[in-house]
Copies of this chain bind each other. A is one copy, B any other.
Amino acid sequence: MAETLSPTVLTLKDIAREAGVSLATVDRVLHNRPGVRPDTVRRVKDAIARNSFQPHVAAAELARGRARRFAFVMPSGPNPFMQQIEAYLGEMAAWLSARRLNVEMIATDVFEPAALAASLEALSGDYDGVAVVALDHPSVRAAINDLVDAGTKVVTLVSDVPSSRRHHYVGIDNIAAGRTAGALVGRLVGQRSGKVAIVAGSQGLRDHAERIFGFNQVMATEFPDLSVLPVLEGRDEDDRSEQLLARLLGKHPDIVGLYNVGAGTQGVAKALNDKALGAAGRDKQVVFVGHDVTALTRRLLLQGVMDAAISQNPGHEARAAVRVLLALARGEPILSEQEKIRIDIVMRDNLP
């Protein structure tokens, strides 16, 4: 009826006695430090395994004294999503401080490979861990690998560099996110047939390109009655997005769906709204799916202008990045299920 999940209460000392060595030697083996004869290593490892010994993290943390330093390398522009991540890191201040963890924010032009790479190189040696919103570019990849080689733990955040040797990626699968957007647009349009517009920042951005890919995939295979128009590139700017979309809406009166891949949401909403004023009833309305829950998209969802937002929880991403860096630094296993970032579908009634 009652089942215990964690029986261990042994200490390093017990293991030392059992293996017939001293505390220091067990510690060396535990951390794969050199200077122990191979068969001594085996004896100790056996004793550890036999008792499924878990060192007490609190004791380890206390003994090492030195506080850990982590750096977050983030885009310098006024991106609301990134600001949310920073805000959530700020909310963790007390938690971090109680664990003697130091987190520093470093702003960089992440769209400039050379600048980003330089920022990363500059961190070498000074930090136990680095989280970076990365651009997938050879020089960035090289900078990441250099950090890893220097012993720094590296996680990519929001945007990955899969070809690098980063230890972990904290973010969503953007192809699946695009597919999800596609399925939503298709299903919410219902029986109607017509055209679907896509507004992206740039098809050169890896995450945008992946989302578009996933979106088109679903459209092509599952919603043959809907035809997707060429992608508009609004550079994540409101004005430009509005102009491009307004022109498109004028040219194609039969647009029934819209996927906004990146930012520029304000402009997109404006263009849509202007069109709605000239149109007829509710069923003429365009299904509008975008990304991320911000003050603006929240309002648009409540007003019924936007139908759904695909979201990656910025608070979760911030905390997951810290926890993963900490686990890596401590040599603890990562709770992968916990750190996986989900693709959230947010509609008016489940707004967080």
A residues in contact (CB < 8 Å) with B: 1-9, 54-59, 61-62, 67, 71, 88-107, 176-177, 179-180, 182-184, 187-192, 214, 218, 283, 307, 313, 315-316, 319, 332-333, 335, 337-338, 340, 342-350, 352
* Beta-carbon contact of B348 and A2 below 8 Å: no
A106 touching B1, Cβ below 8 Å: yes
The count of identical subunits is 2
Bound CA–CA A333/B96 (angstroms): 12
A71 to B1, CA, bound (A): 12
For the complex, give the distance between the alpha carbons of A183 and B351 in Å.
Answer: 13
Distance, CA A104 to CA B9, complexed state (A) = 16
- Chain B residues lying within 8 Å of A71, measured Cβ to Cβ, are 2
A287 to chain B, nearest CB (A): 9
Contact B95 A335 (CB under 8 A): yes
Q: How far is the CB of A177 from chain B (nearest CB, A)?
A: 8
Q: Are B6 and A101 in contact (CB under 8 A)?
A: yes
The distance in angstroms between the C-alpha atoms of A257 and B106, with both chains bound, is 51
Contact A348 B62 (CB under 8 A): no
Report yes or no: B103 in contact with A6, Cβ–Cβ below 8 A.
yes
The answer to whether A54 touches B94, judged by C-beta atoms less than 8 angstroms apart, is yes
Complex contact A104–B4 (CB within 8 A):
yes
CB within 8 Å for A349 and B176 given contacts A62-B59, A187-B188? yes
Complex partner residue of A348 from B59, B89, B183, CB under 8 angstroms: B183
Apart from A188-B188, A315-B338, what 8 extra A-B contacts exist at CB < 8 Å? A1-B107, A5-B103, A58-B59, A91-B335, A183-B349, A342-B352, A343-B350, A344-B344
Rounded to whole Å, the gap between the CB of A312 and the closest CB of chain B is 11
**Cβ of A34 to closest chain B Cβ, rounded Å:** 25
B105 close to A2 (CB less than 8 A): yes
Given A8-B97, A58-B99, the answer on whether A3 and B337 have CB atoms closer than 8 Å is: no
| Chain B residue with Cβ nearest A340 | B352
Q: A105-B5, A176-B350, A335-B95 are in contact. Are A56 and B100 (CB under 8 A)?
A: yes
Say yes or no: B55 contacts A58, CB within 8 Å.
no
Inter-chain CA distance A342–B3, complex, in Å, is: 29
Contact indicator A347/B184 (Cβ below 8 Å): yes
Which B-chain residue is minimally distant from A187 (CB atoms)? Answer: B188
Q: A332 — nearest CB in chain B belongs to which residue?
A: B98
Contact: B3 with A105, CB < 8 Å? Answer: yes
Residue numbers in B under 8 Å from A350 (CB-CB): 176-177, 180, 342-345
For A100, give the chain B residue with the smallest CB separation: B56
